[in-house]
């Protein structure tokens, strides 16, 4: 087990500074353009691939850090640059996390590289869970997979999917036995070009607009048994245990969300930090009543609270990331704690940054209005703030709080 430390080692410092330089020189200057275009920033993804940031090898390197801190460090820096572009770079990681966490060795070797491609031939991955009538209530999924000989046929519609419909590899969570609820779910890998998979409505969003979000429609999508995540034998064994009333372990979607919550929380911290730093510099320069506005306690105290909240959120993220990397159980829902605190901190800090800038914070000439739009999603996706509180309350009480 790696020792938990608040001091980054030399490799982590080098990693942080390298990614920050990329975010500062490549991502942030492009943020406004791609927010306005509301399109996947392919030129930026190409630059990230050439730098080695958009690649499965880089993700594996981060995941291999025994302290667990490299992944949140990188995400914080990328999203400090711009959240929409950052999500375009890291969004494929959701599908990869699902494959790595649930797949067989053969599936991991085959499909993880396929999610990224290579410079000049980039690929994307998408993780498809949410449905029109199944958001926080994942147990209500209606997308279903039916066995047909050695194949499975998938039908249903997913919504709010990052890279949905444009991804090369789609990982979809579907019900294989509706009588079992969430215990009857399984994940399937849908290969590029599979007939019956199509993109539905592309969403026009409040924030993170450089990240593609769309419906994904599955109409008699046929996949081979080799694309059942974890293998058919393991699925059959799990279904048999569920039907006999035995424990089956975590269901497909939730196991992925638990692994990624501290990472998503780190993204929110990056947005909050960007807004805080901009507001701090502005408060030092902005003159009113013949003095810098930071000399007023109301502004100075607001900035003090902003920085305190950011640092507190980061500590929760690092703790959860270390625990996950070292297989320390989340007995008090520490992953959900990190996501809850970071998401709400991002919303609060960006709103305060707008207030410090006043009218200038509300116009597009300054980036804080974009950051406040980007921040809001972090109290919604990957589990709403209310769901995080529910998970924490259940962990603390041992009761099925509703």
Predicted confidence band of residue 136 (pLDDT cuts 50, 70, 90): confident
Residue 339: predicted pLDDT: 98
Predicted confidence band of residue 247 (pLDDT cuts 50, 70, 90): confident
**pLDDT greater than 90 at residue 219:** yes
Predicted confidence band of residue 254 (pLDDT cuts 50, 70, 90): low
Predicted confidence band of residue 256 (pLDDT cuts 50, 70, 90): low
Residue 234 has φ and ψ, to the nearest 5°, of -65, -40
**pLDDT greater than 80 at residue 48:** yes
CA 139 to CA 129: how far, in whole Å? Answer: 11
Predicted confidence band of residue 134 (pLDDT cuts 50, 70, 90): confident
CATH of domain 252-397: 1.20.140.10
Q: To 5 degrees, how large is the angle CA 35–CA 98–CA 384?
A: 55
**pLDDT greater than 70 at residue 232:** yes
CATH 2.40.110.10: which residues of the chain?
Answer: 125-243
Predicted confidence band of residue 350 (pLDDT cuts 50, 70, 90): very high
Contact 353, 280 (CB under 8 A): no
45-51 contacts: CB < 8 A, separation 24 or more? Answer: 45/88, 45/89, 45/122, 46/119, 46/120, 46/122, 47/22, 48/22, 48/89, 49/116, 49/117, 49/118, 49/119, 49/122, 50/119, 51/22
End-to-end CA distance of the chain: 36
Contact 259, 382 (CB under 8 A): no
CA 364 to CA 276: how far, in whole Å? Answer: 17
CA distances from 137 to 53, 133, 217, 402 (A): 34, 8, 20, 12
Average predicted confidence (pLDDT) for the chain: 95
Contact 340, 389 (CB under 8 A): yes
CATH 1.10.540.10: which residues of the chain?
Answer: 10-122
Q: What is the DSSP letter of 123?
A: -
Residue 245: predicted pLDDT: 84
CATH 1.20.140.10: which residues of the chain?
Answer: 252-397
Rg (alpha carbons) of the chain, rounded to whole number: 21
Residue 299: predicted pLDDT: 98
- pLDDT (mean) for 28-53: 98
Structure tokens at 80: 């400090």
3-state secondary structure of 146: strand
Q: Choose which CATH entry (3.30.830.10, 3.20.20.370, 2.40.110.10, 3.90.228.20) describes domain 125-243.
A: 2.40.110.10
pTM of the model: 0.95
CATH of domain 10-122: 1.10.540.10
Residue 35: predicted pLDDT: 98
- pLDDT (mean) for 12-38: 98
- Which amino acids are annotated catalytic? 382
CA 253 to CA 255: how far, in whole Å? Answer: 6
- pLDDT (mean) for 260-274: 96
Predicted confidence band of residue 229 (pLDDT cuts 50, 70, 90): very high
Residue 275: predicted pLDDT: 98
Query: Across-strand partners of 134?
Result: 131
- Nearest of 98, 105, 250, 267 to residue 189 by alpha carbon: 98
For residue range 145-195, what is the model confidence (pLDDT) as tens digits?
A: 999 999 999 999 999 999 999 999 999 999 999 998 889 999 999 999 999
CA 348 to CA 352: how far, in whole Å? Answer: 6
Structure tokens at 8: 């980054």
**pLDDT greater than 90 at residue 251:** no
CA 267 to CA 262: how far, in whole Å? Answer: 9
**pLDDT greater than 90 at residue 138:** no
Q: To 5 degrees, how large is the angle CA 223–CA 226–CA 228?
A: 70
Q: What is the bridge-based pairing of β-strands 169-175 and 125-128?
A: parallel
For residue range 352-390, what is the model confidence (pLDDT) as tens digits?
A: 999 999 999 999 999 999 999 999 999 999 899 999 999
Q: What is the DSSP letter of 293?
A: G
Residue 151 has φ and ψ, to the nearest 5°, of -115, 170
3-state secondary structure of 345: helix
Share of the chain above pLDDT 70, in %: 97
- Scored b (16 or more CB within 10 A) or e, 68-86 reads bbbbbbbbbbbbbbbbbbb
Residue 85: predicted pLDDT: 98
């Amino acid at each position: 087990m790696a020792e938990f430390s608040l001091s980054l080692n030399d490799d982590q410092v080098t990693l942080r500074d390298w990614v920050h330089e990329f975010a500062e020189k490549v991502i942030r200057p492009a943020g406004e353009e791609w927010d306005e275009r509301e399109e996947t920033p392919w030129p930026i993804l190409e630059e990230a691939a050439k730098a080695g940031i958009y690649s499965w090898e880089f993700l594996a390197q981060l995941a291999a850090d025994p302290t667990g801190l490299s992944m949140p460090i990188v995400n914080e820096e990328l999203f400090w640059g711009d959240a929409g572009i950052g999500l375009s770079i890291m969004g494929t990681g959701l599908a990869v996390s699902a494959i790595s966490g649930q797949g067989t060795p053969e599936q991991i070797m085959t499909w993880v590289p396929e999610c990224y491609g290579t410079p000049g031939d980039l690929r994307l991955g998408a993780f498809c869970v949410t449905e029109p009538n199944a958001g926080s209530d994942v147990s209500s999924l209606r997308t279903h997979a039916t066995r047909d000989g050695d194949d499975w046929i998938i039908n249903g519609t997913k919504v709010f999917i990052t890279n949905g419909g444009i991804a090369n590899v789609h990982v979809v969570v579907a019900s294989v036995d509706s009588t079992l609820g969430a215990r009857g779910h399984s994940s399937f890998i849908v290969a590029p070009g599979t007939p019956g998979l199509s993109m539905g409505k592309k969403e026009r969003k409040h924030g993170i607009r450089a990240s593609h979000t769309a419906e994904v429609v599955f109409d008699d999508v046929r996949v081979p048994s080799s694309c059942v995540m974890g293998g058919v034998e393991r699925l059959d064994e799990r279904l048999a245990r569920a039907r006999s009333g035995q424990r089956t372990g975590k269901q497909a979607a939730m196991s992925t969300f638990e692994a990624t919550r501290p990472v998503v929380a780190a993204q929110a911290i990056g947005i909050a930090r960007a807004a805080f730093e901009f507001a701090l510099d502005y408060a030092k320069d902005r003159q009113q009543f013949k003095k810098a506005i930071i000399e007023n306690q109301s502004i100075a105290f607001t900035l003090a609270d902003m920085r305190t909240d950011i640092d507190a959120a980061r500590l929760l993220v690092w703790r959860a990331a270390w625990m996950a990397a070292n297989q320390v159980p989340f007995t008090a829902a520490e992953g959900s704690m990190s996501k809850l605190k970071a998401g709400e901190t991002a919303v609060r800090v960006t709103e305060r940054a707008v207030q410090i800038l006043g009218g200038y914070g509300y116009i597009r000439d300054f980036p804080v209005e974009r950051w406040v739009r980007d921040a809001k999603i972090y109290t919604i996706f990957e589990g709403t703030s209310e769901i995080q509180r529910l998970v924490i309350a259940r962990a603390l009480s041992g009761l099925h709080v509703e």
